[in-house]
Copies of this chain bind each other. A is one copy, B any other.
Amino acid sequence: MVKMTNEKYLVIGGAGFIGSNFVDFLLTSGESVIVFDNLISGNKAFLEKNFSNKKFTFIEDDILNWRNHLKELNEIDTIIHLASNADISAASIDPTLDFRRGTILTQEVAELSRIIGVKKILYASGSGVYGDHKKEILIEGITELLPNSPYGASKLSGEAILSSYSQMFGIKVACFRFANVVGPNQTHGVGLDFLNKLKSNSTILHILGDGKQSKSYIHVSEVIEAVLFVSNTVEEDFFVTNISNGDRIDVNEIATIAIKIAGLSESKIKIIFSGGDRGWSGDVPIVNLSAEKLVGRGWKSKIGSEKAIQMSLISLWDQINQN
Contact = CB atoms under 8 A, between A and B. Distances in A.
Interface in A145-161: 145-150, 152-154, 156-157, 160-161
A131 B166 CA distance: 12
A9 interface: no
Contacts of A129: 160
B164 A149 contact: yes
B153 A161 contact: yes
Contact of A107 (B99, B144, B147, B161): B99
A96 B91 contact: no
- Chain A interface size, as a band, is 35 or more
A101 interface: no
A154 B156 CA distance: 11
A141 interface: yes
Contacts of A160: 129, 145, 147, 152-154, 156-157, 160
Contacts of A152: 160, 164
A161 B157 contact: yes
A103 interface: yes
A164 B128 CA distance: 10
Interface of A: 91-92, 95-96, 99, 103, 107, 111, 114, 129, 131-132, 141, 144-150, 152-154, 156-157, 160-161, 163-165, 167-169, 238, 281-282
The 7 A-B residue pairs whose C-beta atoms are closest, nearest first, are A157-B157, A148-B167, A153-B164, A156-B160, A153-B160, A141-B144, A153-B161
28 contacts: A92-B168, A95-B114, A95-B168, A96-B111, A99-B161, A103-B103, A129-B160, A141-B144, A145-B145, A145-B160, A146-B163, A146-B167, A146-B238, A147-B160, A148-B168, A149-B164, A149-B167, A150-B164, A150-B165, A152-B160, A153-B157, A153-B160, A153-B163, A154-B160, A156-B156, A157-B160, A160-B160, A168-B281
